[in-house]
A and B are shown apart, each in its own frame.
Chain A
Amino acid sequence: DTAVSQTPKYLVTQMGNDKSIKCEQNLGHDTMYWYKQDSKKFLKIMFSYNNKELIINETVPNRFSPKSPDKAHLNLHINSLELGDSAVYFCASSQESSGQYFGPGTRLTVL
């Protein structure tokens, strides 16, 4: 009955690899997000989608490509991983002015 779920929880990979993170929400929310939280705990928005349409794309390298197959899912694909991509990636969802609800996070370590 998890509201916002992400897989995998941990991801350890070599530099240069391509990886994907999946997110699903069962709250019926229209908007979903990807955030990156770095080692200094700064939580920064990367993308947001509303009803499968991209509405926010912050200055993120184009190695990062989000995809929303439907409004309950938002995936993140990362090409050519770099050391600086190591962080915790959080998915979130919201509905109107309700505040955002976060998934448990994916801890990505690039070696």
Chain B
Amino acid sequence: GQQVMQIPQYQHVQEGEDFTTYCNSSTTLSNIQWYKQRPGGHPVFLIQLVKSGEVKKQKRLTFQFGEAKKNSSLHITATQTTDVGTYFCAGPWKGGSEKLVFGKGTKLTVNP
């Protein structure tokens, strides 16, 4: 079945270091979405990428969608303690886009 894989599963960084999480889909995606879940909280939508090769920035966060629309990455520059949480990517289900297929997430911890 359709799979969305994320690596790494866990990442621990010192505050100020950069962080990158990668998302790989087994199928071509029409779009990819990124969510952030703070500890004890619920997932919150961050961004959606639609075009092949698209790059979007939100302050210290840079999101990329691969040329083949099967992979994506989220890069955080100079991490802060507020970046702590689990980052999920998700893409529409290939069988009709009725639902999202989520990756298992990358859990980021930041040492102050």
B is bound to A: no
